[in-house]
Amino acid sequence: MSSAGLTRRELIQAATVLGTGLAGTGVTAAAAAAHGKEEAMTNAEPARVARETMRGVPFERRETVRIGMIGVGGRGSGLLRDLLGVEGTQVTAVCDVVKEKTERAAERVEKAGQPRPALYSSGEKDFENLCQRDDVDLVYIATPWDWHVPMAVYAMKHGKHTAVEVPAAVTLSDCWKLVDTSEETRRHCVMLENCCYGFWEMAVNTMVHQGLFGEITHGEAAYIHDLRDILLADSGEGLWRRKPHAERNGNFYPTHGLGPVAWYMDIHKGDRFTRLVSMSSREASLTAYRDAKVASDSPKRKEKYRCGDMNTSLLQTALGRTVVLQHDVVTPRPYDRINLIAGTKGAFRDYPARIFLDGQEGGHDWQSPEPFKEKYQHPLWKNVGELARKLGGHGGMDFIMNYRLVQCVREGLPPDIDVYDAAAWSAPGPLSELSVAKGSAAVEFPDFTRGKWKG
């Protein structure tokens, strides 16, 4: 059963009883009911009033982007640092359930030369007061996953554009809720997919759209990241991020790998995802690591994990392209997002970055992409890349992402990643769970654009 709607206190308490009733790999009655509800969301759109699309809708141009930030813990504090380095940004309000974190954030804002922001830390719903402020244009959400949709929906309904961390939603119904609310309120919901703004991701996107790889037919994407220490920690993400491993079985974190590939394939700009098939390996690594590292009298030793170590999904698009999408955060192996794109004239594959072009010198061996670096470097990296590498996290991609978001608002441009992208890139999470629960049967992929992807 999804933990959406649980309070932070309930999430923390749940960390001690994750395994209750979830022994083995079978689907519980509650999970089966949830899967049934999700399956209904794939077969037909819920009844809704027809509204105008938000595709291509520009932000209202404004010289200064006033930001209210919700969540300034580990991830949020890094993003705040980036935002304070972007010209035209003013952080007017900060919210976190931990008061000390809001105080540290306020000090950082003042140190950057801005007025002290208003602080909100009086309970789990104090974010609502931030969203009601008149001096906030954009609500920036960097909280645990289950809070993304309630916060974004509330903010949009109170007239604010939103930027939300990944994944934007963890159920299909919540994906639709974001889409419907954005269309109803005419407010944007931008997903903060930083991996779309990596140096090679942006350069490869340029290569693709300048025809270097010919007609695109296939992509591969992943989030392979050893998070065992984080998952079993007694603080930070360990308080909530391990919980899905006991309750669900699928791909919990699809957007980092999928986002760039979706850009390469022009998803929602002439193509869309149409169906998905998924299967999971057996679960072994998280249990083995827990048993080796955690004291025998710890409540964690009673937990039973359902999620397989590796989840592999296969997606197909309306134009017949395919995407292999993987998720593994518990196996001891090097970090990898794969980031592969292939077409009739060649291919690119990352980690490490390498390129192959049909007819190249050197035969059928991968080549270094360095000779292509200057020609295909994206203008954002050319113009602010040095500052990004100095200030931003993850090699500078975080800063580029935030710089571009603010640029779109200041110049009155449509967002690069809109609510339909947020929904579609997040949807492989619940869709993979549904497919796994159905014995790896194919499941339909909702068209969140309601036909507007053809434009």
Q: Is residue 400 pLDDT above 60, yes or no?
A: yes
8 Å CB contact between 55 and 452: yes
Q: Is residue 198 pLDDT above 80, yes or no?
A: yes
Of 29, 41, 20, residue with least CA distance to 430: 41
Q: What CATH number corresponds to the domain at position 304?
A: 3.30.360.10
8 Å CB contact between 424 and 444: no
pLDDT of residue 62: 98
pLDDT of residue 236: 94
pLDDT of residue 50: 64
Report the number of distinct structural domains present in the chain.
1
Distance CA 384, CA 64 (A): 19
> What is the SS3 assignment for 214?
coil
Which bin fits 288, alpha (ψ -120 to 50), beta or left (φ > 0)? Answer: alpha
Beta bridge partners of 95: 70, 120
- 44 located within any domain: no
> What is the SS3 assignment for 215?
coil
- 34 located within any domain: no
pLDDT of residue 48: 56
The string of pLDDT tens digits covering residues 345-388 is 999 999 999 999 999 998 899 999 999 999 999 999 999 999 99
φ, ψ of residue 289 to 5 degrees: the values are -70, -40
Helix (H) / strand (E) element for 355: namely strand 354-357
Of 239, 260, 93, residue with least CA distance to 166: 260
Distance CA 21, CA 304 (A): 9
Distance CA 275, CA 454 (A): 17
Greatest Cα pair distance in the chain: 64
- 68 located within any domain: no
8 Å CB contact between 143 and 151: yes
Q: Above pLDDT 90, what percent of the chain?
A: 87
List all residues 6 or more positions away from 67 whose beta carbon is below 8 Å from its beta carbon. Answer: 83, 89, 90, 91, 92, 136, 137, 138, 139, 140
Of 202, 201, 211, residue with least CA distance to 340: 201
Residue located via tokens 């065992």? 228
Q: For residue 25, give the DSSP letter.
A: S
pLDDT of residue 4: 39
Give the mean pLDDT of 419-447.
98
- 31 located within any domain: no
8 Å CB contact between 251 and 311: yes
8 Å CB contact between 257 and 337: yes
Distance CA 113, CA 257 (A): 36
The count of other CB atoms within 10 Å of the CB of residue 175 is 28
For residue 24, with 0-12 CB atoms within 10 Å meaning exposed, 13-18 middle and 19 or more buried, which class applies?
exposed
List all residues 6 or more positions away from 389 whose beta carbon is below 8 Å from its beta carbon. Answer: 395, 396
The Cα-based distances of 139 to 97, 167, 212, 433 in angstroms read 16, 16, 39, 30
- 426 located within any domain: yes
- 287 located within any domain: yes
Mean pLDDT for the chain?
92
- 124 located within any domain: no
pLDDT of residue 38: 73
Q: How many CA atoms lie within 13 A of 41 on its CB side?
A: 19
Distance CA 423, CA 175 (A): 5
Q: Is residue 30 pLDDT above 80, yes or no?
A: no
- 56 located within any domain: no
The string of pLDDT tens digits covering residues 85-106 is 999 999 999 999 999 999 999 9
Residue 449 is part of which domain span? 196-378+418-454
State yes or no: cis peptide before 352, omega within 30 of 0: yes
